[in-house]
Amino acid sequence: MAQRRTGITADTYQRLLTDSGVVVVDYGLASERKVGATRGGNSFGVEQENREMLADGAPGPVKGSQRRLRSIAKLTVNILEMTKENVQMSLPGSTSALESGYDKITREDGITLGDYYENVALIITKNGGTDPMVFMIKNALALENAEFEASEDDEPVLSVELTAHFDPDNIGAEPWEIWNPEDQAFVYYDVTYGADANGTVVGDTTQSVRSGEDATEVGAIPDTGYVFDEWDDGSTDNPRKDTNVTEDIDVTATFVQES
């Protein structure tokens, strides 16, 4: 059998992520807020430091010989909207106070537990799916320098690199999560159209339709001396187009003699 020259399938383009996504602080909590518009994209990554446990006689890396030493999850956000909350996110431990029409942001004390964000999530649309893909870091804090740079004929972008932190009460669990909706998004239903002995169905009579999408239109055509009556599920639509398919459909067109 000849080998396929590509990994493309009917589902390939439904599994792609699109656009730069939306960044949400405290995703799913009462304090949830969006950071607003970004530019230059946003990124999630997990840095992994492993150590190979060497043994005499091993010709190379041996399965089972790796030990994870460190894991550091980061989320980088390139923020356009200079809100008070976004500026403070880049300066952990800072406070703000309203003064003469300004939110005056300052910092005096060190970093406290209250300065960590419970989570920050990058939410990206999955092409063809209703549920997004979510990349989340937990106990997030900005550790890198905060820099604000303005230039001629351009808008400043505040780049904030947030680092996840382990929970001391659950030190074995890495502080990041990835939510992939693929198992829910790619459900297909069989849609089958038939006819009794006195007619035919034109169109695609056997279809595989993604959940929530529409089947293609079919028509019931009677033989000479007969007219279309109904489908055996009670529908009298002819031509027929099933929309928002959420279950298997198997129907037969019925015909009666002309009177």
Which residues have a Cβ under 8 Å from the Cβ of 103 and sit 6 or more positions away? 84, 96, 97
| Prediction pTM value | 0.70
Confidence at residue 213, expressed as pLDDT on a 0 to 100 scale:
86
- At 92, the amino acid letter reads P
Is the pLDDT at 182 greater than 70, yes or no?
no
> What is residue 87's three-state secondary structure?
helix
If asked whether residues 117 and 132 sit together in one domain, one would say yes
If asked whether residues 144 and 158 sit together in one domain, one would say yes
> What is residue 158's three-state secondary structure?
strand
Q: Is residue 18 one of the residues assigned to a domain?
A: yes
Is the pLDDT at 183 greater than 60, yes or no?
no
> Can you give the CATH number for the domain in which 132 is found?
2.30.110
Confidence at residue 53, expressed as pLDDT on a 0 to 100 scale:
96
Confidence at residue 9, expressed as pLDDT on a 0 to 100 scale:
81
If asked whether residues 44 and 148 sit together in one domain, one would say yes
Confidence at residue 19, expressed as pLDDT on a 0 to 100 scale:
87
pLDDT of 89-114, one tens digit each?
999 999 999 999 999 999 988 899 99
If asked whether residues 119 and 227 sit together in one domain, one would say no
Is the pLDDT at 155 greater than 80, yes or no?
yes
Which residues have a Cβ under 8 Å from the Cβ of 167 and sit 6 or more positions away? 138, 139, 173, 175
If asked whether residues 171 and 137 sit together in one domain, one would say yes
Output the average pLDDT for the chain: 92
Among residues 181, 201, 228, which one ends one of the domains? 181
Domain interval for residue 207: 187-257
Q: For residue 168, how many other CB atoms are within 10 A of its CB?
A: 7
Average pLDDT over residues 84-91: 96
Confidence at residue 212, expressed as pLDDT on a 0 to 100 scale:
82
On whether the CB atoms of residues 133 and 178 are closer than 8 A, the answer is yes
If asked whether residues 161 and 207 sit together in one domain, one would say no
Burial class from Cβ neighbours inside 10 Å (0-12, 13-18, 19+) for residue 30 reads exposed
Confidence at residue 126, expressed as pLDDT on a 0 to 100 scale:
84
Q: Is residue 56 one of the residues assigned to a domain?
A: no
Q: How confident is the model at residue 211 (pLDDT cuts 50, 70, 90)?
A: confident
On whether the CB atoms of residues 238 and 228 are closer than 8 A, the answer is yes
If asked whether residues 132 and 45 sit together in one domain, one would say yes
If asked whether residues 80 and 156 sit together in one domain, one would say yes
Name the token pair of 213: 């999408």
Q: What CA–CA distances, in Å, run from 203 to 10, 221, 224, 251, 255?
A: 20, 11, 19, 14, 18
Is the pLDDT at 167 greater than 80, yes or no?
yes
If asked whether residues 109 and 229 sit together in one domain, one would say no
If asked whether residues 154 and 211 sit together in one domain, one would say no
On whether the CB atoms of residues 203 and 219 are closer than 8 A, the answer is yes
Among residues 181, 209, 230, which one ends one of the domains? 181
Confidence at residue 151, expressed as pLDDT on a 0 to 100 scale:
86
Tell me the three-class secondary structure of 108-137, residue by residue: CCCCCHHHCEEEEEEEEEECCCCCCEEEEE
Average pLDDT over residues 183-208: 87
Q: How confident is the model at residue 148 (pLDDT cuts 50, 70, 90)?
A: confident
Count the domains in the chain.
2
Give the Cα separation of 95 and 259 in Å (integer): 85
Among residues 137, 162, 181, which one ends one of the domains? 181
Confidence at residue 159, expressed as pLDDT on a 0 to 100 scale:
95
If asked whether residues 112 and 192 sit together in one domain, one would say no
Answer with the residue of higher pLDDT: 200 or 4: 200
Percent of the chain with pLDDT over 70: 96
On whether the CB atoms of residues 230 and 236 are closer than 8 A, the answer is yes
Which residues have a Cβ under 8 Å from the Cβ of 41 and sit 6 or more positions away? 20, 78
Q: How confident is the model at residue 28 (pLDDT cuts 50, 70, 90)?
A: very high
Q: For residue 224, how many other CB atoms are within 10 A of its CB?
A: 6
Confidence at residue 36, expressed as pLDDT on a 0 to 100 scale:
96
Q: Is residue 144 one of the residues assigned to a domain?
A: yes
